[in-house]
Structure 1
Amino acid sequence: MGAFKKLGLVPKLIIAIILGILIGRYLPVGVTRLFVTFSKIFGSFLSFIIPLMILAFVTKGIADLGEGAGKLLGITVLIAYISTLVAGSLSYIMSSNIFPKFITTAQVDAITAAEGKTLDPYFKVPITPFFDVTGALIFAFMMGIAISWLRKNNNGEVLYKAVSEFNIIITRVLEVAIVPVLPFFILGNFAEMSYSGSVFAVLSIFWRIFLCIVILHLLYVTVMFLVSGSYTGKNPFAMLKNEVRGYMTAIGTQSSAATIPVNLQCARNNGVSREIADFVVPLGATVHMPGSMITITGCTFTILYMYNLPHSFGLMLSLIATLGVAMVAAPGAPGGAVMSALPFLPIVGIAPESAMASLLISLYLTQDSFGTAANVSGDVAIAAAVDKFYNKVILGNKDWKAEPVVTNPQ
């Protein structure tokens, strides 16, 4: 047990994934249900704590920024939206040129036959959040900018101290009750997926689509770090290496928001100043979703092509542009992006309650964790670039120098 505690987070996550698959496949159902029960309860706790994380980090981050806070908020959201649109467009280009070579309509029946086997937990503990993620985000924006304005006018110190102490409390909760438990949460998730078998059935049929989408995820993230590294003067490959922990955590949790505590440390290891990291990383977890957009665009194109429905770039671009706004905060929950997209699928001719939508959800969920991993990785690349832009351009600090990348983080 002592040796396990000494392992880094990435080895723990890998062990959890392997054990989850083995438990779900080979151990009695009762054992699997035990891990699933824990995973569901912890998931409820995560849902409760995530809005508080957003409130603590984003409010404190904006309040600390002071001058230029509103401008920084605008430029960060704009970069995130443009990145999401570009990712979706690239996904369409890839899908339209590659997928028609190996998609057959006979695969629809095969996927449908693999669905329906689920495993319920022994019991549930509903933990209702004080407010949803979107509400927390809007309130954090409002409070952060207001506190920043008050401090500029020599007021607001009491409120600022309260926000700072709340930030310390949430940070401590993450260190003690979230990050150390993530491997067990991931183990339960993979045990459930392994038991159901539906995920692997879909993967066995759509492995080429899955492979193409994941490769595009990796290429897009790599390009983001190359651009960010070039702009900031940092080694992009060292930055990518430091992001592995965040990437692996996101694969296991399937939640951008649940990966925030790990991703914050990844950003700090990549030389992002604390005030920018505490602002951009939580914000990016709710508004920046290139990985999710790549996945949902590829999956939507697959369904449209299989059913011989219109799938022009103009039609798909209208869906991509809409989802870039509609899916804000959705990646915080596993599968949240595709569920948020359902009301807008009629744009491309797919009814939300149809078998096509069900098939789309199944196809998306098999790749959701990799899309989430691309989302959070891109957040760190953006944070590094925003750090320099904020200090050099918005504040006009010509002598500012970025913190160095930590090459051997603990």
Structure 2
Amino acid sequence: MTFLRLPLLAWIVIAIALGIVTGPVMPEWLGNVFLTYNSVFSGLLGFSVPLIIIGLVTPAIAELGRGAGRWLGLTAAIAYASTILAGLLAYAVSRWIFTPVMSDRSLEALTEGSGSGLTPYFTVASSPSGSPTEIVLPPALEVMTALVLAFVVGIGLTAIRPSILLKAAVEFRTVIESLIRHVIVPALPLYIFGIFMDLARSGEAVDVVGRFVVVVAVSFGLTLVVLLLQYAAAGAIAGVNPLRALWNMRDAYGTALGTSSSAATIPVTLESVKRNRVSDAVAGFVVPLCATIHLSGSMVKITCFSIAILLITGGPVELGSYLPFILMLGVMMIAAPGVPGGAIAAAAGLLTSMLGFGETEVGLMFALYIALDSFGTATNVTGDGAIALVINRLARGRIGEDSEQQDAVRT
């Protein structure tokens, strides 16, 4: 029973190790079974992505309407800018460090037709290709259609209080979170095992792991750099010692390492923020809001990992082609903090539609993201404290006054 309760990261590590070890000696018939499983999982994920977008993004945007007047827009703008700047920093560092290491395009096993000699017994695809062993499972909506629909409905619901549709959206979010938590995430280790088993048969697995150890190390280092920059800026604006303010957030950082959820860490983040002499009104407003919309750590990880994969596979990494992905990713991830590993599930649609990632690339993104999931979450919640310092300096107690005035008007 203790073995079954291992954290997801441990299962991912076990799956990668077993895939590398058993791949070369795997019987062909059994290898085909695992590739069939991977095809089914990939088809289910592709079908689920539009539902994940609608189920998570719609209520997340609708609930942003609850706030303290104009401070909502200011806080959201600062959080979004922080997330995008973190992505741009990760992009620049990744291009600089990873290009000489990753760009020889030698890992052909990451593309279609790896040469392992294995083929699934049947495949699940989103569009027909004419194969007699193919099951077509098209998604209900295209990814961008689902995203636009989520924004239209979510923004519309901010003006309707109370709303039966909002209640339905929140309940649908519960269904989608359950799908992620109880179906997609538990199925990941076996999916990743199949990927590395296939890579091992083609002789590429060790090279893949060796290269991505560098990516993981750089990503972790960048999360620390992002925190130092955030608190340097917040300290300059709020007139406080940035290193002391960052140290005061240590409990929030540590708790997030254990929970891998910004939402679950909110009570500890609130107490940590108040140690920096942020008012109760500002802390109670900024921390829950930023737990939903501020994901600089998650942005760093996804940017570093996706750039590395693009360099390996020879995909486009120019800023002009990659910047739209960063901008959209900053919006997409506002729905993710409630579910451990939810950010990469929400980003899967953009990875396929905007970066052209296939089944293997998306599987590697899941494995890499989960490897640093808790550290990215810890960066997210600790960075919320920097935003709280800025808003506290700008507001000077006016957030509480604005809320009281709005309540008086409604009464």
TM-score range, shorter chain: 0.5 to 0.7
Distance 2:29 2:158 in 1: 53
Q: Secondary structure at the match of 1:81?
A: helix
Give 2:201's aligned residue. 195
**Is 2:241 the counterpart of 1:239?**
no
1:55 deviates by 1.8
1:93 deviates by 4.1
**1:73–1:25 distance in 2 versus 1, CA, 3 Å:** farther
Kept in 1, the 8 Å contact 2:249–2:382? The answer is no
Correspondent of 2:187 among 177, 181, 188: 181
Distance 1:391 1:59 in 2: 29
**1:198–1:297 distance in 2 versus 1, CA, 3 Å:** closer
Kept in 2, the 8 Å contact 1:17–1:186? The answer is yes
Give 1:220's aligned residue. 222
Distance 2:109 2:143 in 1: 35
Q: Secondary structure at the match of 2:124?
A: coil
Kept in 2, the 8 Å contact 1:217–1:294? The answer is no
Q: Secondary structure at the match of 1:125?
A: strand
Give 2:34's aligned residue. 35
**Is 2:138 the counterpart of 1:128?**
yes
1:120 deviates by 2.2
**Is 2:293 the counterpart of 1:295?**
no
Taking structure 1 as the reference length, the TM-score comes to 0.62
Q: Secondary structure at the match of 1:197?
A: coil
Distance 2:262 2:43 in 1: 22
Kept in 2, the 8 Å contact 1:16–1:186? The answer is yes
Give 1:405's aligned residue. none
Give 1:393's aligned residue. 391
Report % sequence identity.
Answer: 23
Kept in 2, the 8 Å contact 1:242–1:269? The answer is no
Deviations 1:253-306 (A, max 9, x none): xxxxxxxxxx5677669748666545556x997898431465268669xx89xx
Distance 2:348 2:54 in 1: 20
Q: How does 1:23-62 map onto structure 2 within 5 Å?
A: 23-62=22-61
Distance 1:293 1:234 in 2: 33
Kept in 2, the 8 Å contact 1:294–1:371? The answer is no
Correspondent of 1:144 among 122, 144, 154: 154
For structure 1, the residue ranges without an aligned partner over 5 or more in a row are: 247-262, 305-315, 344-360, 401-410
Q: Secondary structure at the match of 1:149?
A: coil
Coordinate RMSD, CA, aligned:
4.8
Give 1:15's aligned residue. 14
**1:129–1:232 distance in 2 versus 1, CA, 3 Å:** farther
Give 1:88's aligned residue. 91
Distance 1:227 1:270 in 2: 22
Kept in 2, the 8 Å contact 1:292–1:368? The answer is yes
Q: Secondary structure at the match of 2:324?
A: helix
Kept in 2, the 8 Å contact 1:25–1:195? The answer is yes
1:391 deviates by 9.9
1:28 deviates by 0.8
Distance 1:286 1:220 in 2: 11
Distance 1:27 1:374 in 2: 26
**1:149–1:177 distance in 2 versus 1, CA, 3 Å:** same
Deviations 1:216-244 (A, max 9, x none): 22211232345568667654597378448
Between 1:112-121 and 1:4-13, the stretch displaced more is 112-121
Q: How does 1:54-73 map onto structure 2 within 5 Å?
A: 54-66=53-65, 67=67
1:175 deviates by 3.1
Give 2:174's aligned residue. 168
**1:112–1:183 distance in 2 versus 1, CA, 3 Å:** closer
Q: Secondary structure at the match of 1:128?
A: coil
Distance 2:253 2:23 in 1: 35
Kept in 1, the 8 Å contact 2:266–2:288? The answer is yes
1:160 deviates by 1.0
Taking structure 2 as the reference length, the TM-score comes to 0.62
Give 2:237's aligned residue. none
Distance 2:51 2:251 in 1: 33
Structure 2 letter corresponding to 1:291:
C
Distance 2:124 2:354 in 1: 24
Q: How does 1:365-376 map onto structure 2 within 5 Å?
A: 372=369
Kept in 1, the 8 Å contact 2:58–2:151? The answer is yes
Distance 1:324 1:370 in 2: 24
Deviations 1:63-83 (A, max 9, x none): 222236655554444333222
Distance 2:195 2:251 in 1: 31
1:123 deviates by 0.9
Kept in 1, the 8 Å contact 2:91–2:303? The answer is yes
1:133 deviates by 3.1
Q: How does 1:72-83 map onto structure 2 within 5 Å?
A: 74-83=77-86
Kept in 1, the 8 Å contact 2:36–2:121? The answer is yes
